[in-house]
Amino acid sequence: MSMPETDSGWLQAARRIESPNQDERPAGELVRLIVIHAISLPPNEFGGPGIIELFTNRLEPQAHPYYREIHALRVSAHFLIRRDGELIQFVSCARRAWHAGVSSWQGRERCNDFSIGIELEGCDELPFADAQYPALDALLAELRRRYPVEAIVGHSDIAPGRKTDPGPCFDWSRLSFQRA
């Protein structure tokens, strides 16, 4: 599956919903890492507008008790893959999304500087949907073709003890690459 990219780092195959939670990468910084995340809002529920609202700073604290805790967060990811395989892009690959937080990979801190973040609509407690795996595989292949990616890791790999995603229900063996 080909996913042409515009000059600005937006994939044409993705639905574009731009997040304000982004900024410039440090000068000369290349994408070397892809970080796989999992998110569900409300927790362990799928299909609602919560993820998009969080990434666009429109999450209503009254909509769910959990939202009162997180509505002020300013976070984003480059991509989201919904349960049905839909691909949404929030941040250009040329820019830094705010997805990794306090993080380190092979001695380098601030993983947002040199990574692309991919959120999967999912959680630690439930299996991911079958449609998400081929969508992720196609996205990873395209990103690896375009960028000098050295590793594809989980959020838990760059923030151990702080993060668990994509979690124990994510089946790394269903992807066509070798995990770092």
State the 10-residue block means of pLDDT for the chain, 180 residues long: 63 97 97 98 97 98 97 98 98 98 97 98 97 98 95 97 97 84
Provide the domain limits for residue 146: 15-170
CATH number at residue 164: 3.40.80.10
pTM: 0.95
> Is 119 one of the annotated active-site residues of the chain?
yes
User: Is 10 part of any domain?
Assistant: no
Residue 2 pLDDT? 47
Question: Which of 164, 144, 162 is CA-nearest to residue 152?
Answer: 144
Among candidate residues 119, 121, 125, 142, the one labeled active-site is: 119
Q: Do the bridges between strand 104-105 and strand 95-97 make them parallel or antiparallel, or are there none, so unpaired?
A: unpaired
The SS3 call for residue 23 is strand
